[in-house]
A and B are shown apart, each in its own frame.
Chain A
Amino acid sequence: GAVVSQHPSWVICKSGTSVKIECRSLDFQATTMFWYRQFPKQSLMLMATSNEGSKATYEQGVEKDKFLINHASLTLSTLTVTSAHPEDSSFYICSAGRLAGGADTQYFGPGTRLTVL
């Protein structure tokens, strides 16, 4: 158990367009989902925490109007990169929190490679 999927796995778009990335927990319900961004050869950078039915909590320096997060159900969260620019090109990874062994563990999706031309 604890499988998280992301769609699409990769996307190429033109500058100025918007891109939506879906994150789904396939075999468990996740009250909380997280969105990360990873630059080459660097660690995962938390962008925002997404709670089902409420507004996302964004980390410092992350533009909430640019990275729209919707957590519509206990198994689905979406990240929309609005008016994408080349500097938004990155590897975006989501995770879903699940209680395991008495403690919360995050299970990660496979990631989405975004390339903005």
Chain B
Amino acid sequence: DQQVKQNSPSLSVQEGRISILNCDYTNSMFDYFLWYKKYPAEGPTFLISISSIKDKNEDGRFTVFLNKSAKHLSLHIVPSQPGDSAVYFCAASGSGGSNYKLTFGKGTLLTVNP
């Protein structure tokens, strides 16, 4: 049972345009969501996160939107740059003290074309 789903395995965008990466979840106990960027043969790099008490969090070119009722979140990258080309993983965590355990989606390969 896949609790975090990234239904688009890949996305191709032109440089300068907006990239929108989507993620859906099924577990209503999740209350903290993160996006990671990963290059081949490297560990994931933390990008941005959002708590369930918010519906938007912005950090530079990256904005994450959370729609709790739809159990959906998205990552917007504006403007997209060729260096953004990587696999993006959505991850979710449940509430409770030291419960850091993350559930990951399968990732979306973003390609930003010059």
Contacts and interface: CB of A to CB of B under 8 A. Distances in A.
A67 interface: no
Interface stretch (B19-27, B66-74, B78-86, B101-109): B101-109
B44 A44 contact: yes
Interface residues of A, number: 29
Interface residues of B, number: 23
Classify the secondary structure of A's interface with B: strand
A91 interface: yes
B30 interface: no
Interface string A94-107: 11010011111111
A109 B41 CA distance: 11
Given A43-B89, A101-B49, A34 B43 contact: no
B100 A104 contact: yes
B32 interface: yes
Contact of A43 (B43, B46, B101, B106): B106
B98 interface: yes
A93 interface: yes
A46 interface: yes
23 contacts: A2-B46, A6-B43, A32-B98, A32-B100, A43-B104, A43-B105, A49-B100, A93-B43, A93-B44, A97-B98, A102-B51, A104-B93, A104-B99, A104-B100, A105-B34, A105-B49, A106-B46, A107-B46, A108-B36, A108-B43, A108-B46, A111-B42, A113-B41
Interface of B: 32, 34, 36, 41-46, 49, 51, 89, 91, 93, 98-102, 104-107
